[in-house]
Structure 1
Amino acid sequence: MKKTLLLLISIGGMLSVFAQDATQLIKRPSLSINFFLKDFATPELISSSSITTVFENKQWTKMKDMAPGLNVQYFQGLTDHLDFMAGLGGSFLKYPFLYKSGVQTPVQDKFLLEADANVNLKLLTDKYFMVPYLSAGIGASMYAGTYFGAYIPVGTGLQFNLGEGNFINLQYSYHLGVSDLTNYNFQYSLGFASPIAPGKKEVKLAPTPPPPVKETPKDTDGDGIPDDKDQCPNVPGVAKYNGCPVPDTDGDGINDENDKCPTVPGLAKYNGCPVPDTDGDGINDEEDKCPTVAGVARYQGCPVPDTDGDGINDEEDKCPNVFGVKENFGCPVIKEEVIVKVNTIAKNIFFSTGSAQLIANSYKPLGEMVKILQDDPNLKLDVEGYTDNVGSEAVNQALSEKRAYAVMQYFISKGINADRLHAAGYGSSKPIADNKTAKGRAMNRRVELKLRYY
């Protein structure tokens, strides 16, 4: 590693021919857009064996197994050798929580948001083409909008200066978790940065123009009318208008003598009049695909379509392919008896204690729900899982999610398209009864089924 670092510094010295102005060694405020890869597996292997073993056995995680993401970084020079660097990045992944957190790894990719602030120690100044640096800072993360953590990013990088303050940034960082909900990981990133503040520019004075040559032409505009009789001596005209051009009142390039609409700008093909608008919708007939029916510009002069013919145009209709009513935003109204039946079904869905395993008594009511969805293929269903407040919030949240997904998976197994289904868990956050009593807790341990068309 030491030999490699010395080699990089030597190459940077040899490439100093790409140096910038020595007066601008402190980096200007700059923004960088970066692509990065996250690696959780390699740090875990190193912690369970050693970095030597990982290298010898070629166990370093392949790029295809890492989680990609994007981030934005802000740079501000502090001194010639110190830069402030702040970043905000995001990626979708299955976050491998530490065992001690009590949170299981999710079954689906969810959004990870990370923000950090760092100080970069540059081994060379920005006058060199290639600048190696070391970095350290603090950071915070939010996963799935629920799990918050903190970490310490440390690492190294190479900055390749392209001139005018632009540079390519190649960076490796190690995120050391400092909270139970943060796991250790490597992050490799590549980005392009450009200044957002202007540099100092040399002011160049324009040469003094030569003095104008004074002339006294007898007919300046050459229209055959002497200047002393020409009311427009600098513009060729006709004697009829005392040396001025034939007027063009509306400024459409067609003089009033040839303009049938002299006070309204128009086109020569319409003898100086505007392109007609037969249907009066503000879109002229040349651009109007429905010239005799009033419409709107985004449909090229035609009316907004109404695909299902329910009198509600597609832009306001949340069910544009199903006949509905205005009171339900263009969707059909779900019958009250169907809602009552669905609520009864939901109250008869049961699981094994502390798990997401459906018990046999649940299959009959679930089958009735499948038939409702099969009878109306336009219906959609939200499956919501809830728990009481016994146990930790993290465990309850995970259990409510698993139960909701278990019900959704049952419907999928019976042929219901997954696009019509949505499952979510809310843990103990929305009780409908008092958690201080056994009856109240039993009511709070529930699954709710909610039909909708949009």
Structure 2
Amino acid sequence: MKLLNLKKTSLLAVALMAGSTLFAQTDTTLTKNYVQPFSGGSAYRTWSFGLGVGVITPYTFIGGKQDYKGRGTQLGYSGFIKKQILHSFGLEADFLGGQIAGNGTPTTAPVGPYASYSTQINWSAALSANITLANINWRHNQSAIQPYLTLGGGFMDFTPKVYSGTGARLALASNSTDFREFFIPVGLGFKIDLAKGVNLDLGYQMNFVNSDFVDGFAYGPTNDKFAYAHAGLEFALGSKSKPQLATHNPVSSMRYEYMVKAQNLQNQVDAEKAANAQLRNDLNTTNANLAATNAKLTQDSDGDGVPDLFDKCPNTPQGVKVDGAGCPLPKAENVKVYVTEEDKKIVKDAIANLEFDLGKATIREHSFPSLNKVAELLVNKNFSLKLAGHTDNTGSAALNMRLSKDRAESIKSYLVSKGANASRIEATGYGMNQPIATNKTAAGRQQNRRVEFTLY
């Protein structure tokens, strides 16, 4: 039998290895970004940084108030560090620098002497929420493009300069030349996967500044705003063997895991079929070889169930029960056991005299004489005895259940120590579940604290 099991195990292993190898060769693309579903953040690359360059202009898509007619474009540069928390949500620290410029007579009165302006963004820092869209894809294994939205808030340090029509720098209508104001960046864009962990970042961002002095000219109640369009690169940090969380498609991992389990199950079924077929052939051959020998070893001429080879009492009459040597068993006499009134009285006295230490399963000494009589009765008449322990409702149900069981077991142990057959004594605890009197009075609780003896 051990040889058959070993052969079957070997066949199964070979078949499963062959099936798994074939599956891996035909589905290698599925394993590229596989992460076991519901894995923690440590299974991904969640940190990344990016750098970008672009143009800054006071014109925005939503239009609105502009203090200058001409809206120039200037070079801008940016960077960010991002922590991806979920597949579709991350937090990033943003930096933006560059210039904002415009020209032409201001569009609002009073006209004043200003003809153009150039504002240097010394620095800006903001914390933004980044919401990645469409990275969960039910049609493709991996999305090549991930659109995103951003919304944040931060501070900007800027220095505006205004000029006359001749190009001369003019003084600002303010006591300050440098400003630091709160601003809100709102953006959208999309990222294109260039390589594993490297993404092309194309985006557009509108910046709403809590100041009307970004262009060096303040008029009206509306604050200034400007736009920044950029192109850049994002680089994921961490082990290259892990996928980037923001670009990972969890649906792909779920599909891969399903396919692996389905394929392994099919491989196991196929392997079982092949192994069982081979084992059936081996078993048939073995059975044929053993048939002749088994015939001699199993021949039973008198039909008593003991082969002739071991039958010490051949030709036993039909229907006679025999022992292991084939010889007839002695006939047992039927003996009936009766419980007399005297027997019941012995048990009743034992119950009446039975006492335990308070809250314990220790039998008090004055209970021993009546218990000795019960033990003698069990030994002499081979009676069976059921012990049922009960308590009142004082204390927890678990404590009472354990105490009732312990007391019944304590009586059983004592009777066994006096020669009673342990297999004929059953000890059960019922706790406070079967009261025979009310638990609201001391007398009732006393009646409920009992051990019942049932002799049979």
The TM-score with structure 2 as length reference comes to 0.32
Greater percentage in strand = 2
Greater percentage in helix = 2
The TM-score with structure 1 as length reference comes to 0.32
